[in-house]
Chain A
Amino acid sequence: MIRDKCAIVVGASSGIGEAAAVQLARRGYRVALVARREHELRKIAERINSRSPAGEERALVFAHDVTHFNEVPELFDRIAQSLGGLTLVVYAAGVMPRVEPEEYDFSKDLKMVEVNLLGMIVWLNEAAQLFTRLQAGTIVGIGSIAGDRGRKGQPVYNTSKGAQAIYLETLRNRLAKHNVRVVTIKPGYIDTLMTRGMGNLLWMISAEEAGRLVANAAETARATVYVPARWRIVAWLLVHIPSFIFRRLDA
């Protein structure tokens, strides 16, 4: 019999991914930590396992660069097999390099599309197929409120997040009949490496708090969750501001 409460967190070496993995392990999940930086993963796994009930290895480590797309099908199987089951996949890998107002650097753009979007697609395609066969499971994609509108500062980051939201919505619509939940998380400002040095940001919450909210959403939510929830109001306003005003307001 496959085990219940088994999760893969892709992008677990820092930020929301790390915090979500820790939260899930605390809630009894066996969690596969996937990221490029093996050293960080091992430290997180040690922290999780040291707090796990005696003899229980709740965190497993799998070093992987999400832009190595061809490795994913085999690795996905190996992880599911090692976990002994799979009920949840969280895709939290993401990059947002600094982009100057007049900068159009394709290498940065490509990286964002590869990590944020294509990596998500290749991982969640695997999850979708397995969960379809199992007629159960939850997929969580960490998008961003940045994907709700085309803002001047980060053209391709916003594009990757907007595309993620559409991809996750299509998965949700495809998989609903198979009893699979697909949750889109749209965080506002979270205190992570990504936001360091950006000054005093509105409604900033800690990564730990974000991880707790992501884990809550993974267990119960059905569609899109803003983290924290008050960002839904901001998002609604942003979406409804006419373009000719928005382009003047947008920093």
Chain B
Amino acid sequence: MTEPPVNPDQALGPRHWARVDGWGMAVRSFGYLFHPRTADEIRNVYDLARGAGKTIVLRGAGRSYGDAAINNEGIVLDLCGMDRVISWEPDTGIIELEPGVTIQKLWQTIIADGYWPPVVSGTMHTTMGGCAAMNVHGKNNFKVGPFGDHIIEFDLLLPSGEIRTCDRAGNARLFHAAVSGFGMLGCFIRLKMKMKKVCSGLLRIEAFHTRNLQEMVDEFEDRVADADYLVGWIDTVAGGSGLGRGIVHQANYLREGEDPRPADSLTISAQELPAHLFGIMPKSLIYLLMRPFINNPGVRLINASKYWSSRIALRGACYCQSHGAFAFLLDYVPNWKLAYGAGGLIQYQSFLPRGRAVAAFEAILRAAHSAGLPPYLGVFKKHRPDPFLLTHALDGYSLAMDFRVTASNRQRLWSLAGELDQIVLDNGGRFYFAKDATLQLWSIDKFLPPANIEAFLALKHECDPENILQSDLSKRLFGKRFSAEVTQQSL
């Protein structure tokens, strides 16, 4: 017996083996992980994939809840190492960034010059590339549109190695498809964006409770003209007359002169979240305190306490808070997902037209309660349509709900999600690729206009004819439709 032969394909050897999970930990994969730092290194991985017959998923910070940034048995291109700020012009608010720059690095770069990113996600750890590919929105989506609305121009590195510069005038079709295209057309390697000038590092916050969903929607509609940000928390376990009750936070930028000492709040330290709970307990351990409450009675207790204390304490409460403290609620407790246990969580976020939102969301909550699977967190936002090809946004509202996944409830949860999909689709609703983990193969045809799907598939064929860029999400939702033959037939 001789020493065993070694697979000559060392390039995909153990140094690159990795388990890569969706952020919610409910969907998992095994992949070959690469960390390119330059466009040429990305090209090398494109070539490697082509040679080895592998597919590639583009991954930023991996904050997509579901399977958008994983690719079982394929290559995972982690772009966090491409995190340089290429240029920043405080006079104009124009910034050029590599795809791995996080929202955190972005705001830390611009805050002292009196700027804040126009759109941020609920966590500051997402990357520019991920935000653009998913076309993320903030709590101000109804007012300023999604992330893509603030991109002026970008360079997209196609699997062929070609770089295409896109803006609204040149390559407009690709511009509107790559943003929202969940990384299926090419890799953003440079993004040029416009930042928002702010007069202070503080926001004026108004908080109040609403007794049901209709009341929340009415408040949003009344305030939409004046508010810069609006977000609702919903007690998703409450039923009966309390169904859809919650708390609304409205935030507004301070106007010139309203903050007597803007320089004090326009600093990194003024925007950072507190490092300790009650000044002593490290934030990184707080999830351990949450763990005993992440179950039906525990969440019921916490939510009821939160709602009723808001009725008493938040009657028209008005106060100032930093941009960071208001925007990045998900970062208050690092790794809070671990409180959900080994099975993790999924987030089910659906978007419904304005006129149908209340009834449909109430039906969704009732269905979840009837199934014995109440969501543990509910976040309500207002949206407006945008011009991106696969957008999730519409003139209406979204409700994002976190569900705990366990070995025993997983099957029931997925079938509940199918039931909820039907409610959303029957009411003309949409879904969001950054969150999804449960939609099925036929779903996209029910919520995306056929012309948009065809246009996207045509671009996929043009930009990635070998179908190298894929994710578990793309395989789940598009099946074989990315392959050239099928695309040609559909055209």
Contacts and interface: CB of A to CB of B under 8 A. Distances in A.
Contact of A81 (B1, B14, B73): B14
B3 A130 contact: no
A63 B3 CA distance: 9
Contact of B17 (A57, A76, A78, A133): A133
A133 B5 CA distance: 25
A235 interface: no
Nearest to A80: B14
Nearest to B73: A1
A135 B70 CA distance: 15
Nearest to B5: A82
Interface string A32-64: 000000000010011001000000010011110
A82 B5 CA distance: 7
A62 B17 contact: no
A198 B6 CA distance: 43
Given A133-B33, A134-B19, A135-B19, A62 B14 contact: no
A62 B3 contact: yes
Nearest to B15: A77
B257 interface: no
B13 A81 contact: yes
Contacts of A134: 17-19, 30
Most chain A beta-carbon neighbours within 10 Å: one of B10, B21, B33: B10
A133 B4 contact: no
B337 to A, nearest CB: 13
B241 interface: no
Given A2-B30, A46-B1, A82-B4, A136 B14 contact: no
Given A1-B30, A1-B73, A61 B17 contact: no
B7 interface: yes
A77 B17 CA distance: 11
A136 B18 CA distance: 10
Contacts of A2: 17, 30
Nearest to A49: B1
Nearest to A135: B19
B73 A77 contact: no
B30 A61 contact: no
B81 to A, nearest CB: 16
A214 B273 CA distance: 48
A77 to B, nearest CB: 5
Given A1-B73, A78-B6, A81-B6, A45 B1 contact: yes
Nearest to B335: A177
Interface in B13-28: 13-15, 17-19, 21
Interface in A123-141: 130, 133-136
A133 B18 CA distance: 5
Interface in A62-80: 62-63, 76-78, 80
Centre residue among B14, B30, B33 by max chain A CB count within 10 A: B14
A130 B3 CA distance: 23
A81 B10 contact: yes
B1 A77 contact: no
19 contacts: A1-B30, A2-B17, A2-B30, A49-B1, A61-B1, A61-B4, A62-B3, A63-B3, A77-B14, A77-B15, A81-B13, A82-B6, A86-B14, A130-B17, A133-B18, A133-B33, A134-B19, A134-B30, A135-B21
Nearest 9 Cβ contacts at the A-B interface:
A80-B14, A133-B18, A135-B19, A77-B14, A82-B4, A60-B4, A134-B19, A81-B13, A81-B7
Interface of B: 1, 3-7, 10, 13-15, 17-19, 21, 30, 33, 72-73
